[in-house]
Amino acid sequence: MTSAIEIVDLHKYFGELEVLKGIDCQVAEREVVCVIGPSGSGKSTLLRCVNRLEEPTSGTILIEGEDITDPDADVDRLRIRIGMVFQQFNLFPHLNVLRNLTIAQTKVLKRSQDEANEVARAVMERVGLLDKIDEYPIRLSGGQQQRVAIARALAMNPDMMLFDEPTSALDPELIGEVLDVMRGLARDGMTMMVVTHEMSFAREVADRVVFMDDGVVVEEGPPNETLTNPKTDRARRFLRMVQEK
Amino acid sequence: MALKPRQRRRLIRALMYGIFVAGFLLTIIVADWARIQRLFFNVDVMQQMLPDVLAIAARNTLVYTAGSFSFGLVLALILALMKLSTIKPYRLFATWYIELFRGLPALITIILFGFGLPIAFDGFRLPGGTLVTGSLALGVVAAAYMAETIRAGVLAVPRGQTEAARSLGMSSSRALASIVLPQAFRIIIPPLTNEFVLLIKDTSLLFVLGTTPLTKELTKFARDFMTTTRNATPLTVAAIVYLLITLPLTYLVRRLERRAAVSR
């Protein structure tokens, strides 16, 4: 079976600085992989390379067997299959929630407005915010905005979802509602790659945890091994620091 | 005599008020009010100017402004996108264009369009008379200023907006048209309105293109009326009409700017 995401020997430089130093990593279909590690370790860059928001310097990334790093790849078409959720939500402030959810459906997938509206209502129901569908993003709390952002990605019927620290910009009391939605997605079998600092979420939801430090994958495995009995010193140190917090 | 700082401040303040009031009173006493009234606020002359000052002159001013603004805005958008382009010749061209037309007096550009083109292209004349030639010339100048405004607006939209749009499968041009530009224009409505006000006043330069009774804008109309009546009232009337158009617009800009500041 081909992996949903297969990353082979990925390198990324920002100028002189090597941020990713040869990453190999797979995400299977219906698998939830949490990427953890200290800030500056390259987690977000790795995630952003997967849908080529960041241009890899070298290496290959296959999306369901198709090479997205190929210069001739139709990146726009491949991105439709990859939903992405950002730390800063990035909802479109000039559009109301419904239009946020339908604009790409109509312009990219060429769905009719009626069909798009219907899909939008269904995904808003799924994230529990159907009553906010006519609001503008600015009127919503951070947690609600992030749930709308998840709904916006879902409306495109992606095969997989990337989450770039989806709760890091949220007030502590709003984190739970977003994690609940993500838990629901995982339960429904969505393929997910999640960069996160929420260790309890990783422990509970992830099928596999990837620990990154300084541009390399230091260790990976099931959460109850990697998060409980890490094999490497670096992972042990990081986890101790996180738990002391 | 040593004054305490507070007394000193009071004295200076009183002096400044005094100078102002004295100047004001002096003007009122010295001025020949009957003469001023006759030459600048002459009701007879005002009546003679109606209805043409509104039906022809003010109307032409507004039509020329609208023409040059719409043409200038389209051109400015193209230039702004060229300046933001990854293609170097586009960037260079836009930069040179902007520097050139911001550096020249608008009058020179207008004369170039009105009289330079026919010389350069052996009698070629733009169709459509003052409206087209004038709108093109003023639009070309205004575009240089507005291009920088639009570019600033585009750059003010957070990068995350483009990234979110691209991650949903939108092409870069689609993301620009549907996501970035609508937000950019919202940001730059106040400075664009300012540019519109500047254009209203710049249409007074279009007289150099030559006029007929039907193509005169406010300033030219007023000057000609001044010559025939040997009276300055037409200037006063033109000034009032200009202010009636520009003051509400500048007021609107202030309101929009305040609203933008609040929502941020």
pLDDT in tens, A199-245: 999 999 999 999 999 999 999 999 989 898 889 999 999 988 887 65
- Res B127: pLDDT: 78
What is the rounded distance in angstroms from the CA atom of residue A47 to the CA atom of residue A50? 5
- Res B104: pLDDT: 94
Q: Using the predicted structure, report yes or no on whether residue A21 has a pLDDT greater than 60.
A: yes
- Res B128: pLDDT: 75
CB count in 10 Å sphere of residue B17: 10
What tens digit of pLDDT does each residue of A155-212 get?
999 999 999 999 999 999 999 999 999 999 999 999 999 999 999 999 999 999 999 9
Percentage with pLDDT > 90 across chain A: 88
Q: Using the predicted structure, report yes or no on whether residue A83 has a pLDDT greater than 50.
A: yes
- Res B264: pLDDT: 47
For residue B163, the chain A residue with the least C-alpha distance is A53
Which residue among B161, B167, B178 places its CB closest to the CB of A84? B167
Verify whether the Cβ–Cβ distance A76 to B165 is below 8 Å: no
Verify whether the Cβ–Cβ distance B167 to A53 is below 8 Å: yes
Confidence of residue A32 (pLDDT cuts 50, 70, 90): very high
- Annotate chain A with DSSP letters as a single string: ---SEEEEEEEEEETTEEEEEEEEEEE-TT-EEEEE--TTSSHHHHHHHHTTSS--SEEEEEETTEETTSTTS-HHHHHHTEEEE-TT----TTS-HHHHHHHHHHHTS---HHHHHHHHHHHHHHTT-GGGTTS-GGGS-HHHHHHHHHHHHHTT--SEEEEESTTTTS-HHHHHHHHHHHHHHHHTT-EEEEE-S-HHHHHHH-SEEEEEETTEEEEEE-HHHHTTS-SSHHHHHHHHHHHH-
Regions in chain B scoring below 70 on pLDDT: 1, 261-264
Verify whether the Cβ–Cβ distance A104 to B166 is below 8 Å: no
What is the rounded distance in angstroms from the CA atom of residue B173 to the CA atom of residue B82? 13
- Name the pTM for this structure: 0.85
Taking the Cβ of residue A136 and every Cβ of chain B, the question of whether any pair is shorter than 8 Å is answered with: no
Residues of B with CB under 8 A from a CB of A: 158, 160-161, 163-171, 174, 178-179, 182-183, 186, 263
Verify whether the Cβ–Cβ distance A90 to B163 is below 8 Å: yes
Summary mean pLDDT of chain A: 94
- Res B263: pLDDT: 56
